[in-house]
Amino acid sequence: MRILVLGSGAREHAIVLALRREHVGHELYAAPGNAGIAQETELVTLDPVDPAAVADFAIRNNIELVVIGPEAPLVAGVADALRTRGIPVFGPGKAAAALEGSKTFAKRIMDEAGVPTGRAVRSGSLAEVEAALDEFGAPYVVKADGLAAGKGVLVTGERDAAIAHATHWLQHGSVLIEEFLDGQEVSLFLLSDGTTVIPLSPAQDYKRLGDGDTGPNTGGMGAYSPLPWLDERFGSESAFVDEVIETIALPTVRRLADEDTPFIGLLYCGLILTDTGIRVIEFNARFGDPETQVVLPRLVTPLSGLLLAAANGELGGVARPQFSRDACVTVVLASENYPDAPITGRQITGLAAAEAVPGVTIAHAATAHSNAVHAGAVQNADELVATGGRVLSVVATGADFGEARSRAYEALAQIGLEGGQFRSDIAARVVESTP
C-alpha cells in the first residue's frame, strides 16, 4: 500500500516501524519525518499543517492512506481536506479534533454523553480562578483550555503556584479548574470509524519529568504495556476494556456523530481509576507518545488494515486486534533543560550498540543528521544531533517486565547525549509486583 505518515516524533517512527514489519513492500512516505523515519521511508518536503499541500501531494502520488500522527495537522483541518478529495485518512476532522484541542468542548461532549469525568469550572479571570480553587480545595488542578503540548496542566498543593499557572495561561485564553482525581492512570487507544470502535491494548504513561513522579509535567517520559495489574482489579484486560467502551468510548463517538462531527481516527482515552470508578482526565484525538511505542510492537494484527478500515467506515466487520503477551517498556531520552527550553544541536552517539541489545529498537523523535540541520555550522559532517526536547525512545520487549526493563536500561547506557535526561524508574513497580 502507498501510505503517507504525517509527523516527526517517536510515535510516527513507531507507526512506520509497525507498517514496515507487517509488510516490507509498503511504499511509505513521511512528512516531515526525522533521521530514524528516513531509514524506513521516503521523506517528503511538505508542510504537514497545510491542508491543500498535503491533499495535492496525496493525489499526485496516488496515496492510498494518510495517517496523521500529531494534533497540529488535525486542528489545521488536514483530514477534512483529504476526505473532501476522496483520500482515505486516519485522523479526525477539525471539528471532532476539538475533543483534544478544547477542554471546554471535551467537557461538554462528556457531559451530554454521560461520560464520567472530573467536575470542572471554566474560568476567564483571576477572580473566577480563585473562587473555583477555593471551592474544590487542595490538591489543585489547573488546566489551560487549548492545546499546550503537554505543559498546560498543573497539579499542586500550593495555592500560590496554582494561581501563578492560571495567570500565565489566562493570557492565552480561559483555564479550567478541576476536581483532583486520585488513582492509577491508564491510556487506552481505540480506533474509531465514526460509529464503531475497536480497542488496542492499554498502556501506562509517565508524565512527570523526574523519578517518583516529581518535577514538571512533560509530553511523557516513558511507558509500558500491557498492564498486568488490571487483571486483579477487573478480572481481565478485556473486562476493563469492555467497561471503557460501554461507558466512555461509544457514548462519546455516538455523541460526536449526532452532532455531525464524526470521529474517524484514534480516540485516546486518558483515564484515572479512582476508588469510585473509571474517570476520563483527557481525550486526545491521536495516538499517544510514548504509549504508541509500547503498544504497536505488541500488535500482531496488521496495522494498515485496521487504519484503512477505520478511515473507510468499515470497522464493523473487523475483529478485535491480537496482541502478543510480550512485555514492552519504553524510556524517553530528553535534552538538557527539557521541558522548559531544551538545549539542542548536541551529538547523539551509541545507537548501534543500543540496538544490538536483544529486543531493543530505537524510535527517533528529535533527531537529524548535522549536515541536514546547518551545513557548515557543525564541524563533523553527518553526525546525528538532537533537535528538540524529547530526542528518542528506547523501546524494549521481553518475555516479562524484568527482562524488558533491564534491556531498555542496558541499551540506554550505550547512548551518549551531553546533558541527556531520562527517568530511571520506568516500569519499576510493575516488575516488583509481577515476579
Please report, as ranges, the residues that interact with ligand AMP according to CB under 6 A: 118, 141, 143, 153, 155, 178-181, 185, 207, 217, 270, 281-282
DSSP codes of every residue in 314-359: -GGGPPPPPB-S-EEEEEEEE-TTTTTS-----B-B-HHHHHTSTT
Q: Cα–Cα distance between 13 and 386 in angstroms, integer?
A: 16
Pick what 289 binds: ligand AMP, ligand GLY, none; C-beta below 5 to 8 Å, kind-dependent.
Answer: ligand GLY
Could you tell me which residues are beta bridge partners of residue 362? Answer: 394
For residue 152, state whether it binds ligand GLY (rule: CB under 6 A): no
Listed in sequence order, the residues at least 6 apart from 238 whose beta carbon sits closer than 8 Å to its beta carbon are none
Q: What is the DSSP string of 102-149?
A: -HHHHHHHHHHHT--B--EEEESSHHHHHHHHHHH-SSEEEEESS--T
User: What cell numbers appear for 123 in the block?
Assistant: 474560568
Give the nearer residue to ligand GLY in terms of CB position, either 284 or 304: 284
CA 201 to chain centre: 14
Q: How many whole angstroms separate alpha carbon 411 and alpha carbon 363? A: 13
Size of the site for ligand GLY (CB under 6 A): 7
Stretch that binds ligand GLY, among 77-85, 170-178, 288-296, 425-433 (CB under 6 A): 288-296
Residue 368 touches which member of ligand GLY, ligand AMP, none, C-beta under 5-8 Å by kind: none
For the chain, the first-to-last Cα distance in angstroms comes to: 42
The listed partner (ligand GLY, ligand AMP, none) that binds 220, CB under 5 to 8 Å by sort, is ligand GLY
Shortest Cβ 205–ligand GLY spacing (Å): 4
Judge whether 268 and 69 are in contact, CB under 8 Å: no
Using CB under 6 A as the binding rule, the residues of this chain from 289 to 308 that contact ligand GLY are: 289, 291
Evaluate whether 38 touches 26 at the Cβ level (below 8 Å): no
Interactions with ligand GLY, residue window 219-278 (CB under 6 A):
220
Residue 34 contacts which entry, ligand AMP, ligand GLY, none (Cβ below 5-8 A, type-dependent): none
Is 288 near ligand GLY (CB under 6 A)?
Answer: yes
12 touches ligand GLY by CB under 6 A: no
Residue 410's binding partner out of ligand GLY, ligand AMP, none, with CB under 5 to 8 Å set by partner kind: none
> Footprint of ligand GLY on this chain (CB under 6 A)?
150, 205, 220, 284, 288-289, 291
